[in-house]
Structure 1
């Protein structure tokens, strides 16, 4: 059996990572999408165990102490992390495993999984990113300002990653993402 592969997808909040990956999984159900644990409250429509594992801060800290997370980071006052066990099992079974994580977590993955394919999703412009964040209507002005400041720092780090994809047009970005993930080694 061929070994699986870990594929990390990151980029600033609001860049469209989730939308791209939902479309990718629809087209390629053979991919395994890793579900992160978080201490944030569920957004409307999010389902426990499908979108995230929603846990208390105490439970998350226990998971960190027990070394049960592949990576973890604090973002916007909440913890996010990737449970190890399922990811490792899926890779051992030969599957392509997709992680959608923050830049801090993606950097940690580079240390623990140096063979992971690391993909950075970029907005066409910072102004477009701000527009997308505002359209979601989920953040205060203060939160938007924090997200944009952080986004600029993350965008500045895009060259640390194996591949960068500009999400200007969803279908074009999706085709590029597919071609990178399913590229055959030479």
Structure 2
């Protein structure tokens, strides 16, 4: 098993270890056999936080015994989508949970935060994203606490945002047909 250490600056550009003393912030990346295992974030030369990349959520408990303030990134695949969990701990207590979904083209199509400790979705912070045939972001969907879509932002055309309550009214071109996934905050994966 070969371990490789790399450093990056705030812009995620690779830097040399000789440059570290001149930077206020940098990231130390630890790779094992070309797999990113963890990122250590430094501020003013001191370790600020650590993000571990795990392939199983069962591995988090063992790491938390050593690093009770760790963060984790875990992913799994569902059909043509990748689902990412980002978990933040303080003193071994889960204090932050975010889930996001990426499509086969690596576009983020859904972003969701959780209310802790209840572990319930915060629908009003949920966003879903629709991309056009060229892979450009076309619509951004925003939701109410009930999970119902309350606003559709047109990211390509000024002053073309859509209020869902007007869908189906005369003169409105947008319909939910073909956009059923976006009508509600759930499901996360189409």
Pick the structure with more helix per residue.
1
Same fold (TM over 0.5): no
- Greater Rg over alpha carbons, structure: 2
Q: Which has the higher contact order (CA 8 A, sep 6+)?
A: 1
Pick the structure with more strand per residue.
2
**TM-score (ref. length: structure 2):** 0.26
